Amino acid sequence: MMLPDVEACLAFGADGWNAVGERLHAVGLTWEASRPYERLAAMGDRPRHSPMVKWHLRRVGEPLAIAMRMFMYWDAVTPDEARTALGEGLSLEALLAAGVLMKTSEGGIVSPYLLRIAGRLFILSDDVNDGGEAVMGPGTTTRGLALIALPRGRVAHALDVGCGAGTIALWLAASCDRVVATDVSARAAAFVRINAWLNGITNVECRVGDMYAPVAGESFDLITAQPPFVSRDDAAPATTFLFGGARGDELALRLLGEMGDHLSPGGLAILFVEWPIVDGDPPLESRVRTALGEAAERSVLLMQWEDADVDEHCAAYATIGHPLRDDACERDAIRRREHFEKTKIRSLRPTFTVVRRDLPGRGVGWTSTAPGRTFAGARPSRRQLDALIAARDLVALGRGAVEDARLRVPRGVSFVEQGDKVEATFAGGGLCGPMTMNVGIARLVGAVHEADHTRAGIEAFAAGEGRTLAEMGDKAMEAVEVALMHGLLELAPS
C-alpha cells in the first residue's frame, strides 16, 4: 500500500492541528473511553481492521464514536457524520484539502493515518502493517519504555533516538525543559511536528539524521531509544522501523558504542531491545559492556524477560506487509526462520538496557541483571527502576554499607505461603517477577524490614531462631543482598 503524503498535512499548521486535538478532547476521546474497544481490537491481527469494534461503534452514533471510527479504526463515515464529530470549529473541507482526512471511493470520510492514545497524548502515525517506510506509533513496548523512562523530578535535557512518531519524546516533554527527538526518516520528523501541534506541546524539537549525528557536541540527562532490532535476511525489503541488521542487534550496539559524552554525568540511558541470543556469543552483559568501550564510569543494568521463541517471532513478523496471511506471508516466515538457523540465533531476549554515567568520584561501574516479569504483565515505573539502581550502588559499596542501611519492603508487596515456600509478588505488576523463597528467608526479610538497620534485623532474626549473629552472619547477608537486588528490599527514604 502506498503511504499517504504526510508532508502535505504540515500545511494544516499548528493552529489547525491544535484545534483537532482540542476537539478530540471535547468529544471525550480519552484512553479510558477507548480502552474497551482497544481490548476488543487486540483480539484480531490488525486492530485498525476490527469488524467487531466497528459493529459496536456504529451502534453508538455519538461524536465520540464517529471520531474513533474515522481516526482509529479505518471505518468510513458519511460527510454529515464527519461534520457532527468535527463540530463547528473544524472545516471538513479544510481537513480533506490538507490530507488529514480523505474520501473513499464510495464517498465516505476516513483518516488515512492511525490515531492511538498514549496516556493523555494523541499520537498520529502510519499503520506499520503497510510496511515500507511506515512510521511507528505507540505499541506495547513503547508504552513500557515510556513508563520506565519518565523522570520523577524535573530534567533539563532529554534525547529520544529513533523517535518514530514521537511518542516517547512527547511523553517526556511534561517532565523536561527541552526534548530533542532524532530519526533518520524525514517522514518521522513530520509526524513528530504534527503530534506536538496536536497535543499543544512546544518544547520538543525533531531533527533528521543518523543516530547521534543531529546532536553532535550536545549532552543529555536522559537518553531513550527503541532501536529497530529485527534480524534481516538478504531477501527482505528494507524497512526502516523494523530491521536492526543481519543479526538484529547491530543498531543497538552502535547506539551504545557512540553514546560517549552525549550522556551527561549522572544521566541515564534507557533502551528497549530484543537481543538475539546466538550460539557462541559471550553473555549479554559482556556484549553490552564491550559495546560501551573503555568507559569505566558506566554502570549497566539489564532488566531481562523470558526469552521469546524464534518460531513465534518469525511467524508474527511475517504478517507485516502480508495482512491476508497468504502464500507470500508463508514464504516470508519460512525465509526468516531459515535466516535464524543460518545465523545461529536460538532465542530473543526482551530487555530494558539501562546505562548510567556515574558521577565523578562516586560511581563504581557495576554491571548487573535483574529478572523481569512477562512483558505483557509488567507495569514498570521510574521509581522502581531508581530503587533497583540504588540497591546495586549500595551492594557495590560493600557489605558494611548494606549492614548499616535501613531497608524496607516496598509498599504493596504480598507474601503467600505455599507449603514450605513463600512467594512474594509486587503490586501493580512491577518490574521484577515474583520471588520464591523458603519460609526462613521470608522471616528474615520481615525482620530486616522492621529493624532500624540491616544488622539489627539479622540479630533479631537470629535470636528468634535460637542462634547467634555469628552463626547466621554470612548466609543471612547473602539472602538480604539477593532480596535487595531483586527489589524485594529497598533503601528506606532518608
pLDDT of amino acid 47: 57
Question: Contact 224/269 with Cβ under 8 angstroms?
Answer: yes
Question: Contact 424/488 with Cβ under 8 angstroms?
Answer: yes
Q: What are the backbone angles phi and psi of residue 264, rounded to the nearest 5°?
A: -70, 155
Q: What percent of the chain has pLDDT over 70?
A: 92
- Top pLDDT among 438 and 234 is at 438
CATH code, domain carrying 299? 3.40.50.150
Q: Of 380, 409, 444, at which residue does a domain stop?
A: 380
**What is the DSSP pairing of strand 263-278 with strand 220-225?**
parallel
Q: Which band of pLDDT confidence, cut at 50, 70 and 90, is reported for residue 106?
A: very high
Read off the amino acid at residue 416.
Answer: V
> Same domain for 180 and 319?
yes
CA distance 273 to 154: 26
C-alpha grid cell for residue 72? 482509529
Question: Contact 229/273 with Cβ under 8 angstroms?
Answer: yes
> Is residue 243 one of the residues assigned to a domain?
yes
Question: Contact 286/275 with Cβ under 8 angstroms?
Answer: no
pLDDT of amino acid 17: 97
Mean pLDDT on 287-310: 87
CA distance 133 to 3: 8
- pTM given for the model: 0.92
pLDDT of amino acid 305: 85
CA distance 140 to 22: 26
Q: Which band of pLDDT confidence, cut at 50, 70 and 90, is reported for residue 234?
A: confident
> Is residue 388 one of the residues assigned to a domain?
no
Q: What are the backbone angles phi and psi of residue 5, rounded to the nearest 5°?
A: -80, 90
| Nearest to 220, CA basis, from 183, 289, 266 | 266
Burial class (CB in 10 A: 0-12, 13-18, 19+), 120: exposed
> Same domain for 170 and 294?
yes
Q: Which band of pLDDT confidence, cut at 50, 70 and 90, is reported for residue 1?
A: low
Q: How many CB atoms lie within 10 A of CB 405?
A: 22
> Same domain for 309 and 367?
yes
Question: Contact 195/165 with Cβ under 8 angstroms?
Answer: yes
How many domains, the chain?
Answer: 3
Angstrom distances, CA of residue 417 to CA of 372, 412, 439: 22, 16, 8
Q: Which band of pLDDT confidence, cut at 50, 70 and 90, is reported for residue 271?
A: very high
The CA-CA-CA angle for residues 159, 164, 166, to 5°, reads: 60
Residue 433 C-beta-side C-alpha neighbours within 13 Å: 13
> Same domain for 403 and 376?
no
pLDDT of amino acid 321: 63
> Same domain for 326 and 407?
no
| Nearest to 6, CA basis, from 239, 191, 133 | 191
| Nearest to 484, CA basis, from 408, 411, 425 | 408
* 84-104 pLDDT, tens digit each: 999 999 999 999 999 999 999
> Is residue 354 one of the residues assigned to a domain?
yes
Burial 337-351 (b: 16+ CB within 10 A, else e): bebbeebebebbbbb
* 434-487 pLDDT, tens digit each: 889 999 999 999 999 999 999 999 999 999 888 877 777 788 999 999 999 999
> Is residue 385 one of the residues assigned to a domain?
no
* 118-146 pLDDT, tens digit each: 999 999 999 877 767 889 888 888 888 99
Look up cell 512474594; give the residue.
424
pLDDT of amino acid 352: 93
Residue 159 β-bridge partners: 180, 223
> Same domain for 157 and 283?
yes
Mean pLDDT on 321-341: 78
> Is residue 392 one of the residues assigned to a domain?
no
- Top pLDDT among 115 and 43 is at 115
Q: Of 57, 81, 112, at which residue does a domain stop?
A: 112
Structural domain that includes position 328: 121-380
> Same domain for 335 and 430?
no
Q: Which band of pLDDT confidence, cut at 50, 70 and 90, is reported for residue 241?
A: low
> Same domain for 308 and 217?
yes
> Same domain for 19 and 84?
yes
Question: Contact 476/461 with Cβ under 8 angstroms?
Answer: yes
> Same domain for 231 and 260?
yes
- Top pLDDT among 226 and 323 is at 226
* 401-420 pLDDT, tens digit each: 999 999 999 988 999 998 88
Mean pLDDT on 72-94: 96
Q: Which band of pLDDT confidence, cut at 50, 70 and 90, is reported for residue 291?
A: very high
> Is residue 127 one of the residues assigned to a domain?
yes
pLDDT of amino acid 235: 65
> Is residue 375 one of the residues assigned to a domain?
yes
pLDDT of amino acid 319: 74
pLDDT of amino acid 324: 59
pLDDT of amino acid 438: 92
Q: What percent of the chain has pLDDT over 90?
A: 62
| Nearest to 308, CA basis, from 273, 360, 258, 256 | 273
Mean pLDDT, the chain, rounded, equals 89
* 27-62 pLDDT, tens digit each: 999 999 999 988 888 765 565 678 889 999 999 989
Q: Of 95, 112, 129, at which residue does a domain stop?
A: 112
Mean pLDDT on 198-220: 96
> Same domain for 151 and 213?
yes
Q: How many residues does the chain have?
A: 494
pLDDT of amino acid 307: 86
> Same domain for 293 and 320?
yes
Q: Which band of pLDDT confidence, cut at 50, 70 and 90, is reported for residue 381?
A: confident
Q: Which band of pLDDT confidence, cut at 50, 70 and 90, is reported for residue 117?
A: very high
> Is residue 96 one of the residues assigned to a domain?
yes
Read off the amino acid at residue 334.
Answer: I
Instruction: Kindly report the three-state secondary structure assignment for every residue of the chain.
Output: CCCCCHHHHHHHHHHHHHHHHHHHHHCCCCHHHHHHHHHHHCCCCCHHHCHHHHHHHHHHCCHHHHHHHHHHCCCCECHHHHHHHHCCCCCHHHHHHHCCCEECCCCCEECCCEEEEECCEEEEECCHHHCCCCCCCCCHHHHHHHHHHCCCCCEEEEEEECCCCCHHHHHHHHHEEEEEEEECCHHHHHHHHHHHHHCCCCCEEEEECCCCHHHCCCCEEEEEECCCCEECCCCCCCCCCCEEECCCCHHHHHHHHCCHHHEEEEEEEEEEEEEEEECCCCCHHHHHHHHHCCCCCEEEEEEECCCECHHHHHHHHCCCCCCCCCHHHHHHHHHHHHHHHHHCEEEEEEEEEEEEECCCCCCCCCEEEEEECCHHHCECCHHHHHHHHHHHHHHHCCHHHHHHCCEECCCCCEEEEECCEEEEECCCCECECCEEEEHHHHHHHHHHHHCCCHHHHHHHHHHHCCCCHHHHHHHHHHHHHHHHHHCCCEECCC
Residues with Cβ within 8 Å of residue 405, at least 6 apart in sequence? 394, 453, 454, 491
